[in-house]
Structure 1
Amino acid sequence: MNDKLPAAAGDLAQKHPDVWKAYSALGEACAKAGPLDDNERRLVKLALAIGAASEGGVHSHCRRALAEGISPEAIQQVAILAIGTLGFPQAVAALTWIDDIVSGREG
């Protein structure tokens, strides 16, 4: 169940399986709540992580996007699109977090 989770999330899933089960069910329900396909949902989640300035979230969604066949260029474009809304510094930070994963420097 928690083999692919970051340590803290894996610990929570192990200690509180009912909470993890409910959280997972909520995620599945949200994914089915509209017409977006898998790639679109992944890129939206990446954008939300960028907007929240969550380095761990950006790393996680970037890793997943690459594993799901989304190109590095598409992933990077999400960060570039953030320039107008979030500002240049936040977009550049996101690009560095994405590059951590794309280049294999992270983790």
Structure 2
Amino acid sequence: MDRQVENSEVIRENLEYLVKNHGEIYEAYCRYGELVHEKGGPLDEKTRWLIKVALSTEGQYEYALRTHILKALKAGCTREEIEHAILLVAPTSGFPKTMEGLLILRDIIKEQEK
């Protein structure tokens, strides 16, 4: 996944630019995301992260998918639960998106096992 390593620096720099030049907007965006995640409804923590994994897989947002997989694991989701969420993308949004999601999940698991 060399592409992720290359992109992570660009993404970090772009985020730093946003925070520096539009900090108030970024803070409001973060707060909105927290409110929706925590107080938006009755779904439990694990389910919310599994949904975010599926949405990131469908949208092919590699950086977001990596972030959401890590947060799902931290919230107690198992590899099997995360994999299931990724597999659910195939019938609705396409097999290639699911295969890319599985590659990213497998890469993260491999990194964690080192």
Which deviations, in whole Å up to 9, do the C-alpha atoms of 1:43-66 show, x marking residues without a partner? 111111011011111111011111
Note the aligned Cα RMSD (angstroms): 1.8
TM-score (norm 2): 0.77
Q: Which residue of 9, 18, 25 corresponds with 2:15?
A: 9
Spell out structure 1 runs of 4+ moving beyond 4 A: none
Q: Distance in 1 between matches of 2:43 and 2:76?
A: 16
The amino acid across from 1:89 in the alignment is P
Aligned to 1:42: 49
Higher helix share: 2
Q: TM-score, normalised by structure 1?
A: 0.82
Distance 2:85 2:58 in 1: 11
Structure 2: stretches of 5+ with no match in the other structure: 1-10
Secondary structure at the aligned position of 2:97 is classed as: helix
Give unmatched runs, 5+ long, in structure 1: 1-5
Q: State the percentage of identical aligned residues.
A: 31
1:25 to 31, 38, 43: 31
How many positions carry a matched residue from both structures?
A: 100
Q: Does residue 59 of structure 1 match 2:79?
A: no
